[in-house]
Amino acid sequence: MTDNNLAIAPVLELRNVFKSFGALKATDDVSLTLLPGEIHALIGPNGAGKSTLIRQISGEYSPDHGSIHFLEKDLKGSGVAARAQMGLGRTFQVSSLALEFSALRNVMLAVQATEGTSFRFFKPVMKDQDLIDAAMVFLQEVDMQSRANIPAAELSHGERRKLEMAIALALKPKAFLLDEPMAGMGPEGSKALTVFLDKLRHQAPILLVEHDMDAVFALADRISVLVYGRIVATGTVDEIRTNPAVREAYLGEEV
Amino acid sequence: MLNVSRETILNCLLALTLLVVPFIALSLDEPFYVTLATRVAIYALAGVGLNLALGLGGLISFGHAAFFGIGGYAVGILASHALNYEPHFSSPFELEGTTQMLILWLVAMIVSGLAALIIGLFSLRTSGVYFIMITLAFAQMIYYFAISWPAYGGEDGLSIYVRNGFPGVNTLIPINFFLITFGVLMSALFLVATLRNSRFGAALQAARQNEDRLSAVGIKPFNIRLATFVISAMITGLAGALFADLNRFVSPNMLSWHTSGEIMVFVILGGVGRLFGPVAGAALFILFEFIFGGLTEHWMFFLGLVLLAVVLFARGGLIGSLAGKVRYD
């Protein structure tokens, strides 16, 4: 078992990461790995430091101590854009879109980013059929093709979440970093997204921050529980369900 | 029905009006209006430059006078050396001045572009009020440098005795010079329209709308903005070069913050981010100056009222009021 684990190199690895804001230890000695093909869920009560941790991985914050390796490269010094280029596909907790652009143009932006063609000055994008077709494929994957020409500002909350997902797909990432993708989706939307993410793990592993416990227990290969910036437990769904420390600190009466 | 938007029709009308007015003026034997139209075209060109950064990129530069003035001084300095038969320097090789507009424009654009590269490298690391203040500070530095540099006129400015030449055209005839500036303005508008619709333009406009989104897909907003700032400055620098030739005179006034403010007023009056916004804005500005300037020396007060009305009630400026909101396809 141990030998087996060593043989698989983690896609993403955090080693002893610390981050403080003044006296508040937002991230306190966090180590975790994301292995190929897995969904690793990160759960914890509000204020546990999940978002802070995600921001250190995405490059918005830099850790005070410790290292973050992605595809065996140290991410220290790489900015948000550089990390995205390397293959970290992140979605935001609160949808973050170019609101004046149509859904299609939002995805087209991601496609041109992966192609590295943002310094093309002359050809009009809306006459660039290859670019449009490429983007359309990702909109279809999230069942948004009929809303392609609607400005992001006019999309519903659920549609914006789907659009975020389409953009993340268009980046063809080597790891997904999904920050509460189910938030505000409603039971129907959550179910559909659960089915979708279940298939997505074969494309690239997913680090999933999520409050929806049904989704987490249905999807996760492994779960890490974050409380006050510390990981109090990491394990399979069953191990986490039965872990007394977790029940006390987080799950409480729910389980 | 033809798929032509109201804005496109409006733009064509504006361009046509600007082109026709000087000819009507000539036929009525009123050559003064030719010069007035030339000023509109040059101011509009300066605005087109700023509009690229401000309108499409959301970069509120309060220092575009720097590029307008640098473009003007590039022409003034090169022409004065040529007219005095003084080379700029004679070793290691001799560099003569020139009175050829095409070369002068090229130099003006290169120098403004380089200035923008340096200013941009510093200022684009900031945003919001800090960006406004840093661009202003850089422009003021250049302004005071020009004032205290006696070799090229200092505070008094620098005269260009004869308007520079353009191949095959007598530039001393006002209508010819107008047509040159009009041609340059239309080319710049075409360039900006092309950029706006390109992949680069998509990234630039995304940077304005949501810079986190742009970073998250892996495009560095800084690089896109720096390239934009440089192109924007080159267009405004070219306007400065034409302005120098229109007046046959350059002075530190071109570099002062008033000029930066005026260029910004053209953009806001006409419509921020609208292709022909600066054309409409510059025309409105000149009309105001001409009509109310004849009645009272406080015409700026009335312009201020109009500007206030635009900012409060008509964010899209003149173009926005007539053609409706921007809608991306």
The predicted-structure confidence for A197-229, as pLDDT tens digits, reads as follows 999 999 999 999 998 888 999 999 999 999 899
Does residue A226 lie within any of the structural domains? no
Q: What is the ipTM of this complex?
A: 0.90
Q: Which long-range contacts (CB under 8 A, 24 or more apart) does B81-86 make?
A: B83/B160, B83/B161, B83/B162
| Surface of B (218-237) touching A: CB under 8 A | 218-221, 224, 227
- CATH level 2 (architecture), domain B6-323: Orthogonal Bundle (1.10)
Domain ranges of chain B: 6-323
Confirm whether A52 is domain-assigned: no
Disruptive mutation site among B215, B231, B274 for chain A (greatest number of A CBs within 10 Å)? B215
Q: Would you say residue A103 has pLDDT above 90?
A: yes
How do residues A38-68 score in pLDDT, each as one tens digit?
A: 999 999 888 889 999 999 999 999 999 999 9
Residues of chain B neighbouring A120 (CB-CB closer than 8 A): 198-200
What are the CA-CA distances from residue B156 to residues B135, B153, B197, B254 (Å)? Answer: 25, 5, 43, 12
For A102, A121, A125, B213, B221, the CA distances from A153, given in Å and listed in that order, are: 8, 26, 20, 14, 21
Residues in chain A with CB shorter than 8 Å from the CB of B220 are: 79, 81-82
Residues of chain A with C-beta less than 8 angstroms from the C-beta of B225? none
Residue A176 placed within a domain:
no
Amino acid A252: pLDDT? 57
Contact A123 B214 (CB under 8 A): no
pLDDT for A78 = 94
The domain tally of chain A equals 1
Q: In terms of CA atoms, which chain B residue is nearest residue A80?
A: B215
Residue A183 banded pLDDT, cuts 50, 70, 90: confident
pLDDT band at A251 (very low <50, low <70, confident <90, very high): low
Structural domain of residue A153, as residue ranges? Answer: 97-169
The pLDDT profile of chain B, 329 residues, written as one tens digit per residue, is 456 788 999 999 999 999 999 999 999 999 899 999 999 999 999 999 999 999 999 999 999 999 999 999 999 999 988 888 777 777 667 777 888 999 999 999 999 999 999 999 999 999 999 999 999 999 999 999 999 988 888 889 999 988 999 999 999 999 999 999 999 999 999 999 999 999 999 999 999 999 999 999 999 999 999 999 999 999 999 999 999 999 999 999 999 999 999 999 999 999 999 999 999 999 999 999 998 888 888 888 888 998 999 888 888 899 998 888 877 76
Answer yes or no: is A14 within a domain: no
| CB nearest A99 (choices: B198, B210, B214) | B210
Structure tokens at B320: 């926005």
**Neighbour-count burial of B46, counting CB atoms closer than 10 A to its CB (0-12 exposed, 13-18 middle, 19+ buried):** buried
- Measured in degrees and rounded to the nearest 5, phi and psi for residue B164 equal -65, 160
